[in-house]
Amino acid sequence: MPSATDNNPAILFEDVEKRFGDNVVLKDLNFSVAKGDRVTLIGPSGSGKTTILRLVMTLEELSGGYIYIEDDPLAYEKRDGKRVALREKHRNEIRKRIGMVFQQFNLFPNMTVMENIIEAPVHVLGMSKADAKAKAQGLLDQVGLADKANQHPLQLSGGQQQRVAIARALAMDPDILLLDEVTSALDPEIVGEVLAVLRQVAETTDITMLIVTHEMQFAKDVSNRVMMFDGGHIVEENTPEEMFSNPQEERTKQFLHAIV
């Protein structure tokens, strides 16, 4: 497993800032995620964790600083000492390498499960429908939904919809997978089925993962690095073993005590 100090990180945040009006959510954020790393962000609601994922996915606009995906600038670059916005075409090309699974599934309700999964591979990657369907069927088998291809999302349980959303993200063969509180909208008894799928992805692929979750056991099982966020800053970072058994910072201790 590469360490976060290796060259050519999968994701690099350099002096990142994000403001919503007068509210500064992230300021002077600097960290990297090495290729193949699985990094989990923990911390209280409103600490900026989901904003980080949305910036990487270009769903939010950077207020300052730079994000690089494997050395390629994502939305802004330095040019002649200035910070210059990159064209939408460039952003779209970089974004093809990134998959995201959202809290609320975000499936198209008017499409079947199969249509949801093949939509982007066909229209974004230019894959043939036959190849996209074959791949999608394999992914549905992988997430335990091989018999649901022709159903619509609203015919499925929340846990099944989230597993379809995972298959849809994987259908793009992403280098990076962003996971945003993927179990928080689910009934407690079906959380396990979604986490089991993600554990398998973590164990059987070298996809770089950046994860936001309140499921600490999942963070322990899947991550090789955990970062505690509060107030838009990194309070502490360590291995899962150290973070959860021997946190160093008082704010981390308070947070972990509150959610156990």
Q: Give the tens place of pLDDT for each residue, 142-158.
A: 999 999 999 999 999 99
56 has a pLDDT exceeding 60:
yes
89 falls within a domain: no
161 falls within a domain: yes
Q: What is the pLDDT of residue 259?
A: 84
Straight-line distance from the first to the last Cα atom of the chain, in angstroms, rounded to the nearest whole number:
29
144 falls within a domain: yes
Who has greater pLDDT, 103 or 16? Answer: 16
C-alpha 259: how far from chain center: 22
51 falls within a domain: no
Q: What region does 243 belong to: left with phi over 0, alpha with psi -120 to 50, or beta?
A: alpha
114 falls within a domain: yes
143 falls within a domain: yes
Q: What is the pLDDT of residue 1?
A: 40
C-alpha 33: how far from chain center: 12
17 falls within a domain: no
Domain that holds residue 158: 98-173
Q: For 206, phi and psi rounded to 5 degrees?
A: -110, 25
Go through 243-257 and write b for each residue having 16 or more CB atoms within 10 A of its CB, e for each that does not: bbeebeeebbeebbe
219 falls within a domain: no
Confidence category of residue 185, pLDDT binned at 50, 70, 90: confident
What is the overall mean pLDDT for the chain?
93
Q: What is the pLDDT of residue 46?
A: 87
Closest Cα to residue 57, out of 96, 22, 24, 84?
96
Q: Which residue's structure tokens are 């499921």? A: 215
Helix and strand element counts for the chain (H, E): 9, 12
Confidence category of residue 170, pLDDT binned at 50, 70, 90: very high
Q: What is the pLDDT of residue 4?
A: 41
Taking the model in full, what pTM does it have?
0.92
Helices (H), 106-183: 113-123, 129-142, 158-170
63-106 pLDDT, tens digit per residue, is 999 999 999 999 999 999 999 999 999 999 999 999 999 988 89
Mean of the pLDDT values across residues 24-36? 95
The structural domain count of the chain equals 1
